[in-house]
Amino acid sequence: MSEWREYRLGDIFKVKHGFAFKGGFITENPTNNILVTPGNFYIGGGFKSDKFKYYACEDFSERIYFVGQ
């Protein structure tokens, strides 16, 4: 049985903000690219995994980092 560990996101990667994804590529249809937005977090802490948004474009800025790929 695997155990979950709790981490602060800032301990795993550098959090950046201010990047605007092109709206035409944002979809609810699953792709390999899950967008994590402020809407994925509960106020006070915790992650919501039930309302993912996906990004359907493979041409990314060098400023975007993906974890787990």
* Domain membership flag for residue 50: yes
* Domain membership flag for residue 38: yes
* Domain membership flag for residue 1: no
Q: What is the average per-residue pLDDT within 57-69?
A: 58
Counting residues of the chain whose pLDDT is more than 70, the rounded percentage is 72
Give residue 49's domain range: 29-61
CB 18 within 8 A of CB 47: no
* Domain membership flag for residue 5: no
Q: Residue 63 has what pLDDT?
A: 56
* Domain membership flag for residue 54: yes
* Domain membership flag for residue 66: no
Q: Would you call 27 helix, strand, or coil by DSSP? A: strand
* pLDDT for 25 beyond 80: yes
CA–CA separation, 60 vs 34, rounded Å? 13
**CA dihedral sign of residues 32, 36, 40, 44:** positive
* pLDDT for 24 beyond 60: yes
Q: What is the average per-residue pLDDT within 2-16?
A: 76
CB 12 within 8 A of CB 67: yes
If one counts the domains in the chain, the total is 1
* pLDDT for 18 beyond 50: yes
* Domain membership flag for residue 48: yes
